[in-house]
A and B are shown apart, each in its own frame.
Chain A
């Protein structure tokens, strides 16, 4: 755009994590949650974080969201400090718990970020209608969260995270409470949304097939202290064809190869006996 700069806005990383440490001081001593994390996420890239419970996935996400501060290292979001990115509302976030406000209706919960950021009521209404339609909850707009199932609450939280069409989506096990059918439907939907809006996604999950289906790269983490064990690139629906990640992909041979690769990475790089599919070299 400007003279002499070869960098287009697109070449600025969505998230750049350099040598980040996070140590929690607790009454019983220090908890080394993250250790020397290096990770660069390109704009529009879909990244999954996977790893055993307590390996620091949520912590890393909270650092990116500027809800906590790293103990060491640097972290930038779209070239700015995490704090500035938060103030600029560059990301949308869905927490591990739905975190809906129980005194607000479903529609009012989805409208909350729009309301806080001064979006007019007419636009708010049409946007909320569209979002609820997308997560399949149009009929529940006037219900209160405690009248919904856990999975439905999660879907409301996802709609809320998408409300402002952020360039970066942070999602902490958003599909954990969903049944398998809804889960697959939401996965397909998320792939479509991220492709449509060009949003980068940081997606925490415990499900290997889910990570494989959704991601461009799967970041495998190990615990105590939380480290990046391996970054496994996915070749499914390469490049911009992410939208083409349809249900058939789940049954393709390559899909199972990827699942195996991630599983091996999770088990510390050593091949694991994984039944008849075996360990195929790529």
Chain B
């Protein structure tokens, strides 16, 4: 890399910078993995305390069908929760932006929801909806997604600039036109940011909810049973799958954000 940048002024070309952005974290990851493997296989830290990356990957491959099924279960719960929670968040935020009464009424509810720990709700909902229903987990993911989407959307609805509002008034635009032409487009980046934040929360809550009873088979319950039976390498393999699942959600919503905002100014990323 130094060869390509040598002789150039201090600023990197955009291409080099893009490459570096991908290569740098991968390099760090490989170094950490290498050190980890070194600790286990050369220094001799017990495999029981710290399973080696190799054994985790071995378990990952061996249990792949079960891991895939578990990821699908947890992923579906998180996705449903994210969609329902986001829709509710956008809907309620629109109402709150439109009518002050709704705003006043919803403010304490949202504040309460924002501070409710998932762990407090999970056992209650899990037993409420029975041992073989995923509904409790989906509801928890929806609740967790709702809050950031609601807050960001409401903020977005309030970002219209005075000069733009004056312009709409000068054009004698009716309230529907103002909504379509000004308020919604102004709010879109904020809504998308809310959904991106919610996506990680949805996965985390769907997963954590599984630690508190309900049907087996999701990533969360498999992590806890594997750990309980001292199959640490396998537990780590499920953890690895959870990380991948979280990343997929995050990247998908990030891509959505980029895609929608690319049509706007500055190619997205605000």
A residues with CB within 8 A of B: 62, 65-67, 86-87, 89, 91, 93, 95, 97, 99, 101-103, 112-113, 116-117, 144-147
CA gap between A145 and B163 in the complex, in Å? 15
Contacts of B169 in A (CB 8 A): 66-67, 86
| Chain A: minimal CB distance from B193 (Å) | 15
Q: B266 on the interface (CB 8 Å rule)?
A: yes
Q: Would A99 and B265 count as touching, CB distance under 8 A?
A: no
Contacts of A62 in B (CB 8 A): 166
Residue among B164, B172, B266 making CB contact with A99, cutoff 8 Å: B164
Contacts of A117 in B (CB 8 A): 171
Contacts of B173 in A (CB 8 A): 116
Residue among B167, B182, B188, B263 making CB contact with A95, cutoff 8 Å: B167
Q: Would A146 and B266 count as touching, CB distance under 8 A?
A: yes
Contacts of B265 in A (CB 8 A): 102-103, 144-147
What are 25 A-B contacts defined by CB distance under 8 Å?
A66-B169, A67-B166, A67-B169, A86-B169, A86-B170, A86-B172, A89-B171, A93-B167, A97-B163, A99-B163, A99-B164, A99-B167, A101-B164, A101-B182, A101-B185, A102-B265, A103-B185, A103-B263, A112-B171, A113-B171, A116-B173, A116-B177, A116-B181, A144-B266, A147-B265
| Chain B: minimal CB distance from A69 (Å) | 12
Contacts of B161 in A (CB 8 A): 99
Residue among A89, A95, A146, A147 making CB contact with B172, cutoff 8 Å: A89
Contacts of B166 in A (CB 8 A): 62, 67, 95, 99
| Chain B: minimal CB distance from A279 (Å) | 41
CA gap between A102 and B173 in the complex, in Å? 19
Contacts of B170 in A (CB 8 A): 65, 67, 86, 91, 93
Tell me the nearest residue of chain A to B169, going by C-beta.
A67
CA gap between A101 and B181 in the complex, in Å? 9
Q: Would B163 and A95 count as touching, CB distance under 8 A?
A: yes
**CB 8 Å contact bits of B240-270 with A (1 = contact, 0 = none):** 0000000000000000000000011110000
Contacts of A66 in B (CB 8 A): 169
Contacts of B181 in A (CB 8 A): 101, 112, 116
Contact A116 to B264, CB < 8 A, known contacts A99-B161, A99-B164? no
CA gap between A116 and B173 in the complex, in Å? 7
- From A65, A67, A116, A145, residue with most partner B Cβ within 10 Å: A116
Contacts of B164 in A (CB 8 A): 99, 101
Tell me the nearest residue of chain A to B163, going by C-beta.
A99
Q: Would A144 and B264 count as touching, CB distance under 8 A?
A: yes
- From B171, B173, B266, residue with most partner A Cβ within 10 Å: B171
Tell me the nearest residue of chain A to B266, going by C-beta.
A146
